[in-house]
Structure 1
Amino acid sequence: MKLNRQTAERAAGEGRAAFAAGAQQADCPYDADGDAEQQFQHRYWSHAYGAAAEAAPSTGR
């Protein structure tokens, strides 16, 4: 797999979808300590998940 914009956008989309589905950020399917490909995808998945969480309306918890 190439580490390019398409890969980053796909991982980001997965992160946003995971948040919308109610997954926890710890459920990221990519390894932050893995090889370069895993780290790259983890970075974009986590960033998008965090951005979706910040943009979501507060539940008051």
Structure 2
Amino acid sequence: MSHEQSKNNIKTEKEFKFALDQQAKKSASQLSEQSLRKAVKDDAQLFNKNKMPKS
């Protein structure tokens, strides 16, 4: 492997790690958004349950 090739290899490795990092951040924020939405939904259901007049 020539010096030029190894330099390119390092570059793609960095890009790959960067892409992986971005992907991880994206899926993490999607996950937290999903759990937030679920929590909000659960809160709303609880609120509606408590708001209903007890018969």
TM class by smaller structure: 0.3 to 0.5
Specify which structure has the bigger relative contact order, considering alpha-carbon pairs within 8 angstroms and separated by 6 or more residues: 1
| TM-score where L is the length of structure 2 | 0.41
Q: Which has the higher helix share?
A: 2
Higher Cα Rg: structure 1 or 2?
2
| TM-score where L is the length of structure 1 | 0.38
